[in-house]
Structure 1
Amino acid sequence: MEGTTFEEVWQDVISVQPEPPTWLVVGTGICALLVVLTRDPWRIARNVVTIAHEGGHAVVALLSGRQLTGIRLHSDTSGVTVSRGKPTGIGMILTVFAGYVTPSLVGLAGILLLLGDRITAMLWISILVLATMLLLIRNVYGVVSVVGTGTVIFLVSWFTPAAVQAGFAYLFTWFMLFAGMRPVIELQSQRRQQPSPQSDADQLDRLTGMPGTAWVMIFFLLNASVLVLGGWLLLF
């Protein structure tokens, strides 16, 4: 980023960047898929998915009129968002439902900015969202995770040329699209091996009477649909 004054920085953020070559879009998609499919890279990158997951719970809780108490992110890539309000009803249902679909929706939102070649704007919006979420974090690991993620995005947006920013932005977007699928598959596997009444699917079971497995299928189908739509938008 070349700006030194606020006006110059703002112009850099809202400016339109050159459309990246097709090979970069395809290449970053392949790299993102490999990250999701391989054990160690996924173990690290999954923290970003957890941030999005818990952020989804938090946003919907606030929109539905619930009082948000805080968010905790854990080193095993799990997390919890605590809110106060009516324990049943549509607000609670939507709050619980939001977690597993938010990563995919974040990827879709990123695509809308990328299609307008607003690459730097996408990165800075991500930083602002993370900064806002930081105010709600209630444990040390959560703070480290959010600050670390935001720092990486800031360094890329401030110190790297447009081509590197584009590669990072497309890699992140592809990753969120693909990453929306794996936690849903892991959820069902965990439910079979070690049933937990606290999983989102089982909470929805108690709230609605619809079996938890049916909710897992809904998560899967919605995220798969977003992945197909997102891939089509990015490639065609």
Structure 2
Amino acid sequence: MSTQPTNNTRKIIDKLSSISFFLSLVASKVQYIPAVTIATPFLNLITFGLSLIGYSMWYVASRFYPEQYPRDKEWYGFASFKEQNAYAAFLGIGAAVLSIVAISIPVWAIPAAWLFFSSNVVWAIGEYHKLKNPPADEEYSKSYQKSYLSYALAMTSVGLSTALSATAIFLFPLQTIPILAVSGLISIAMSLIAAEYWLNYNFEAHKKTPLPSYNKMSHGLGPTLEYSNTQSPEPYHSPRLGGKVNHSNSNKDEAKLEECDSPTCNLLW
């Protein structure tokens, strides 16, 4: 019962954060319309302002995410899901601040773009982590998570396109127009795909996926215990399990052990 207000708070903040990001995405693409090109600096300010709000709310929401023990043996398990989201949000806040500064000092646009991309990469990894290692959350839906992961990957592609174009323009300023044209087309295409997934995970009906009982237990009890290869001392009353027969035993006992095929013997071996 005590977790219900926390879950509701998380959902509200997450929803507001998602809306902020979506409006930021729309504002960033409106500037490609020729009729509003003159308002590009103003649109950029709106875009990055909404991004800053979205990342800030996301960082707050990540504090309320369910606890989840990471799969540290996997490449995506370098931190728990909630920690990965907090890292991504923190990188995004830095990127949004640098982007606002870049409106007056354009050179800051390059590190800002790569920070946005880095944030998206960590975010996508976190969502993949959640898909492969669901948290102990009764609201979890695998179909929803797949749709959300697809959205994260599409947005990561947009971030990569933006970062590459910003770097290319800095290195080849005479090719600014063709670079912007190609980057704009790619970015718009990926943004449309991202918008489709955004609509899917926000408005489609996604059934909850019940977690297996053992999964719930593992989340509740802590990290699973793993087999250790450390050998135990040899028992005094029998040969070491899985090893050779003690030479102090008689030849008769040794032959019996080697020829034993009964289920009881199999349990010992």
Q: Which has the higher contact order (CA 8 A, sep 6+)?
A: 1
Q: TM-score, normalised by structure 2?
A: 0.26
- Choose between structure 1 and 2: higher strand proportion: 1
Give the structure with higher Rg (CA).
Answer: 2
Q: TM-score, normalised by structure 1?
A: 0.29
